[in-house]
Amino acid sequence: MKRFFPWIVLVLVLISLAASCRMPKGAPGSFDFPKFGKIPVLEEGRLKPLDTVARNALVILRGRQTVRLEEGRTLPAIQWLADVAFNVPGADQYPTFAINNPEVLGLFGWQQGERKYFSYAELEPFFGKIDTEGQQAAGIDSAQRSPYQTAIYNLRNGLIVYQRLKHSLWPEGTQEFASEVKAYEKLLPIGREAMKKGGQEPASGDLALFKKFTEGYQMLAEASSIQPVPPVDAAARRNGDWVSLGTSLSQALKNGTVHPLVKAYAEMGEAYRAGKADLFNKEVDAIAASMAVQEPVAAGRASFEFLFNHIAPFYQSMQLYVLVFLLVCGSWLGWSNSLGRSAVYVTLVALALHTFGLAARMYLQGRPPVTNLYSSAVFIGWGTVIIGLFLERIFRDGIGLACASVIGFITLIIAHHLAGSGDTLEMLRAVLDTNIWLATHVVSITIGYSAMFLAGMLAMFYVLRGVLTRSLTRDAAQSLARMTYGVLCFATLFSFVGTVLGGIWADQSWGRFWGWDPKENGALLIVLWCAIILHARWGGYIRQRGLMVLAIFGNVITSFSWFGVNMLGVGLHSYGFMDKAFPWLMVFVASQLGLIALAAVPPARWRSPLGN
């Protein structure tokens, strides 16, 4: 049994993975949401499947990727999007908006109670208030906003996101979009004629109808956040100028015909509203087929991104890291060999998923792995797991895996919370638009963070084990110290090289090798701290315990460099959405200081007999 146990664990893990990755197959006669979700559209400057649009919007509005209706039913994101974008009656009553701030609730005269989510229809009477208050908050620097101002600002933004989706695929108030588009196309010659005359004459009959249509489409063009129609002419194709349904309908006036895709969307929406699944699926198939021919690259990427969303590799590997940690802890209690081996196997599976996720993001974005704070968190976890596996290979005592799994788990949780601002594959601002520096500077710095956190984690193990248990023998302590030292050297190398590469990038793009920007200073702090630790050790000023204390403080410095400087709101590297993280950072710093205090307990009083 013991011999086969690791293999059994591995097979069970793989089976459960395969089960959760299986594509849901719609029952015959139901709406084919997966295929609808794969349709590529342009949003926020990036081509993505509708599924991603839906998930990102929901994450912004309510912090999760599904909507739980009051009657207990759960709507997947894509179905919610279809309901909202096709203006299905009742969609405005879904509890879509998360509001937690009591002052915001008070603004509407509501008490904070059991309900956390509210519907668009419920908020409608307060749009005026939300707009004035939100606009006022928008005028304040994000670092200076009070929690109330942040909440009202976010609510106003959320309402804008919602309204834009609502005006993306269906003109408001229209009942039969498809027949309307047909009528509009027939009227095009009349409209063109009127345009030539300057459009001054009083409109009546057909022309009045035509004008009514164009006004509605104008609204659709201005408000829409989704651009589903691929470019027609060569110039637009070069710029990747996809357009909204409304814009395409306005362009029809020039071309004389309505783009077939617009007709297909109109038919699809009408079928969806009428509950005709067969008709809906037929139009979805038609759109998918035409995309596959006209925009094969976009269609391919969109359907891959759909798969990526569905598998949710980071979520899966997060769960596996918990399992790894449990297995390692088990191996310390007994059955060490087989549980230890099981932990290695599960780590490998988790790492494979983690790697797949990183590689998929790189493929989708066409960029090196780290482009924003979210991806830095994902990458730090990934780097730590690799170094941890490496340590495990050398030392074979489970410590490397335990540390790696804890950091892997925590960084993925952090990443999950950083994703709340919407698309994590956002387009890069001009100044960041250089793959060479993203691939070298940013990656080195992030590997440096990984190693710093791993060293800190190893030191935490040392202290906790030494003070609280009897298990830290002299050999164990020595091997932990060696690991920590080795990882710190590694961290020094990468942090230094990364910092310097950053300087070179800055010199290349601003003519300033070093500008004392807070993020640069943060990187420098890590390098200085590493130098201090290494020199203090070489000089014999610190020994094992001292090394551990300094390594733990390295966690504080690294977290300041990674997160803290972004909260200062100064300089070129600061980004928003950090207000929620501040208390957590303080908790983390306090916990590290607590551990340092624990390490300061004289060794004679540790439960492990280190001194003797």
Binding region for another protein (CB under 8 A):
42-46, 227, 239-242, 337, 340, 394-397, 426-427, 429-431, 433-434, 437, 475, 479, 482, 486, 489-490, 492-493, 496-497, 500, 503-504, 507-518, 521-522, 524-525, 528-529, 531-532, 535-536, 538-539, 541, 560, 565, 568-571
Number of Cα atoms under 13 Å in the Cβ half of residue 460: 23
Choose between 118 and 449: whose C-beta lies nearer to another protein: 449
CA distances 15 to 8, 12, 326, 339, 341, Å, are 11, 5, 19, 19, 19
Report the nearest approach of another protein to the CB of residue 606 (Å). Answer: 21
Choose between 546 and 603: whose C-beta lies nearer to another protein: 546
Does residue 262 come out as left (phi exceeding 0), alpha (psi in the -120 to 50 range) or beta?
alpha
Choose between 294 and 508: whose C-beta lies nearer to another protein: 508
DSSP state for residue 243 in the 8-state scheme: B
Report the nearest approach of another protein to the CB of residue 421 (Å). Answer: 14
Secondary structure (DSSP) of 48-102? EEHHHHHHHHHHHHHSSSEEE-TTS-EEEHHHHHHHHHTT-TTGGGS--EE---H
First to last CA, the chain: 40
Nearest to 262 by CA among 241, 248, 243, 276: 248
Compute the residue count for the chain: 612
The β-bridge partners of 43 are 46
Report the nearest approach of another protein to the CB of residue 227 (Å). Answer: 5
Choose between 160 and 497: whose C-beta lies nearer to another protein: 497
Report the nearest approach of another protein to the CB of residue 353 (Å). Answer: 27
State how far the Cα of 579 lies from the Cα of 260, in Å rounded to an integer: 46
Choose between 12 and 394: whose C-beta lies nearer to another protein: 394
Choose between 187 and 346: whose C-beta lies nearer to another protein: 346
Report the nearest approach of another protein to the CB of residue 539 (Å). Answer: 4
Residue appearing with tokens 């996720």: 357
The β-bridge partners of 47 are 42
Token duo for residue 226? 């989704």
Report the nearest approach of another protein to the CB of residue 332 (Å). Answer: 12
Report the nearest approach of another protein to the CB of residue 474 (Å). Answer: 12
Choose between 171 and 228: whose C-beta lies nearer to another protein: 228
Neighbour count for residue 222 (Cβ, 10 Å):
12
Q: What's the longest Cα–Cα distance across the chain? A: 102
Report the nearest approach of another protein to the CB of residue 143 (Å). Answer: 8
Report the nearest approach of another protein to the CB of residue 480 (Å). Answer: 12
Choose between 388 and 503: whose C-beta lies nearer to another protein: 503
Choose between 3 and 429: whose C-beta lies nearer to another protein: 429
CA distances 65 to 53, 309, 320, 561, Å, are 11, 10, 21, 31
State how far the Cα of 240 lies from the Cα of 251, in Å rounded to an integer: 16
Report the nearest approach of another protein to the CB of residue 194 (Å). Answer: 29
Residue pair 78/106 in contact (Cβ under 8 Å)? The answer is no
Token duo for residue 581? 């993280």
The sign of the torsion formed by the CA atoms of 264, 270, 272, 278 equals negative
Choose between 234 and 604: whose C-beta lies nearer to another protein: 234
Report the nearest approach of another protein to the CB of residue 349 (Å). Answer: 21
Report the nearest approach of another protein to the CB of residue 83 (Å). Answer: 23
Number of Cα atoms under 13 Å in the Cβ half of residue 357: 27
Choose between 40 and 191: whose C-beta lies nearer to another protein: 40
Helices (H) and strands (E) in the chain, counts: 26, 6
The β-bridge partners of 42 are 47, 227
Choose between 33 and 529: whose C-beta lies nearer to another protein: 529
DSSP state for residue 564 in the 8-state scheme: I
Residue 161, C-beta contacts closer than 8 angstroms, at least 6 positions apart: 57, 60, 61, 225
